[in-house]
Structure 1
Amino acid sequence: MTKTYSRRSFLKGILSLSFAGLLTAAGGYSYARFIEPSLLDITPITFTHPKIPAGFNGLKIVQFSDTHLSEFYPLSRLEKIVAKINDLGPDLLIFTGDLIDKPNQYRAYKQVAPVLRTLSASVGKFAIYGNHDHGGYGTDIYKDIMEASGFNLLKNEVKRITLRDGSMIQIAGIDDLMLGLPNYEKTLGKLNEGLFSILLAHEPDAAIQSKHYPVDLQLSGHSHGGQIQLPFYGPLITPPFASVYTEGMYDVNQMKVYVNRGLGMTRLPFRFFCKPEITVFTLQKGKN
């Protein structure tokens, strides 16, 4: 196993260095390093399903993911994203993991919660762990930040969301696949099949297991859409557990899986043909 992983890392390094050289030679370095990472796609999706209760018809869910706060994604950029999200007027706000790139090395971590705390969502704010949230001894740092920011941090848990009219949906979150301890049966085995259910899973390939449970919509991040894409080829590299589902919407058995491209960067501070993304889902009762 160690030998395979080392070879994979070596190949990734060669591809990354080759791409950096290509960008420099083609004059695209500045675009990929400074311009595209500061751009933003707002992706609107009307999500229709017969199990969505009438009270949730028109409810707006905003998903953001993978900020990877670092010297390449400063707190000032997060402040702009928070303002943009508030402008979108979410009813339900979802963060699908990887807040800080290297939590134990990020000196400004105490300044993050006051920024995230200003996010407003009338129905609630929910988050899950990503691999970087556990990595770098970051588990408790991330937990403290998200709870201080008013997020419900789901770790192999299911919560029901009930509106004033009594209508209800359920939202589940599993622990990170790479560095956490995800438990599908303990979590998804608790789902009520009669209720519309949303699963938060940082790694999109969790769908290989979650498709066996009554999940209607899985929201994921982690892949960054590959972060670097080439025309007519697609992503150069995708991380572990993002090789099957890498970007956008998928039909997986009875459920839908949406993979958000995220906002920040990791490993290399580039984005190329893969702009940062915020997703806005509007729920609608009806045939899917």
Structure 2
Amino acid sequence: MTLRVGAHTSIAGGVHNAVEEQREYSGNCGQIFSHSPQVWQDPNIEDENATQFREQSADNDIGPWVIHSSYLVNLCTPKDDLREKSIGSMQKEVDAADRLGIEYVNVHLGAHTGAGVEQGLDNAASALDELDVPEGVTVLVESDAGSGTKLGGDFEHLAAVLDRSEQDLEVCLDTAHAFAAGYDLSTPEGVNATIAEFDEVVGLDALACVHLNDSKHECGTNKDEHAHIGEGHIGDDGMGAFVNHEAIRDVPLVLETPSENGKSFAWNIDRVKELRA
């Protein structure tokens, strides 16, 4: 299967512009925000631009695409008002994905803020169950770095939500987050062990997407700060082993690497292609 690797791209000036930006990076899959992720806002998508996005993605064989939900969404929250806002925001995201022909909507579980792990997981599963997810769209629960009361850092959290929810959910594994949460991906042995544990706890059949990021911080620090591919604490050995692992070879890889030190998404996509044997 063709390597699917791309980047998180901007919809500034219209969602269709994300396709051209992806082409500039030489990516063939990708991720977008449907609006500013820092505020409660409806997706910013015009009908004409949605049509252009679908057509240009198909013409250039770019996909799958992922919509990343707002950073304000907290599915685990015990607060009724935040819960309702989160559910409403997610409903708008899955509807936007349907309009755009996008397969996935990605979401962090959020923080239980004192309600406790089990209650937080129950809250997340029941919140997701209130969504009317269009056919052809799948919600992905993303692994987390696990700081504070945030859930999703342990694979068991992801498995619990998939088990407790009535939705047909799948998972997005973020390599930097998993590393920060204590799963060592810096060596081939560590990669093998982590993927084996993911398979045992969650199941590789539920892995729909990977956020491929290196980490600026050491394993187990719970610090979420992304680095260029191969230039963080995961490094070339870990990244090379990960992207070449048999279980990962057909999974789309979406980069959320920084643009700094003269290196952009294009540099990181090229690096992934070089590491892929």
Q: TM-score, normalised by structure 1?
A: 0.41
Q: Greater strand share, 1 or 2?
A: 1
**Which structure has more RCO (C-alpha within 8 Å, separation ≥ 6)?**
1
Which of the two has higher C-alpha Rg?
Answer: 1
> Which has more helix, going by share of residues?
2
